[in-house]
Amino acid sequence: MNILAHALLAGSNDDVIVGSLLGDFVHGPVPTSLAPHVELGVRLHRAVDSYTDRHAQVAALRVRFEPPFRRYAGILLDIWFDHLLAQHFAHWSRVPLHDYSTRLRMLLHSREAELPAEMRRFLAYMDLNDLPAGYAQPATIERAIRGVGTRLSRANPLDQSMPVLQAQAPELQRGFEAFFPELLAFAQDWRRAQGLAE
């Protein structure tokens, strides 16, 4: 999953939200120096990613991608799912998308001193592109995918993937609508098991 989904799945606790977004920038063992709820957010991020990777609906969508795109199907689906989530955000949240997006960036700015340098650079990118609200726009999604492609160590076809995603848009939409309610329930159960308030 990508940043909009990870933030939404983290619930209402600011520390958990920060930790959930920090999850993409923490590799290896979870640092013990993190505040307890921030650490839970990182662990939730990893649990969400693991659940997503194992889910039958997501696996069925991955195999829809032909080579050479199938190798990158996980990356493409993560970003496209944020696109679908942003486009239909009112279905999943009572908070309007632009309000949610602005509040999320304000939260991250208020905690900027705690963020690693790579995440602070990404926050500047979020500001520049009005993320995560900007993910509702196909052009923003295309830029995001191209950006990921440039950061990968090997040559890849990600800069050519937008037509592939758009050609499969109806199937991806149906798969997302079947999968995401189950992911929401998983994240809610996970938070409750950790004693986190909604």
**What's the average pLDDT block by block, 10 residues per block, for the chain (198 residues)?**
96 97 93 93 97 96 96 96 98 97 98 95 96 97 95 93 97 97 97 87
Q: Which long-range contacts (CB under 8 A, 24 or more apart) does 97-103 make?
A: 97/133, 97/136, 98/133, 100/7, 100/8, 100/132, 100/133, 101/4, 101/130, 101/131, 101/132, 101/133, 101/134, 102/133
**CA angle at residue 164 from 158 to 169, to 5 degrees?**
125
Residue boundaries of the structural domains of the chain: 3-193
Helix (H) or strand (E) holding 187: helix 169-193
Length of the chain equals 198
pTM reported for the whole predicted model = 0.95
Residue 198 is classified by DSSP as -
pLDDT computed for residue 1 by the predictor: 84
Number of H helices, E strands in the chain: 11, 0
Q: How far is CA 30 from CA 1, 8, 39, 45, 133, in A?
A: 19, 21, 7, 11, 29
Phi, psi (degrees; rounded to nearest 5) at 45: -55, -45
Tokens linked to 88: 């239909």
**pLDDT the model gives residue 198:** 66
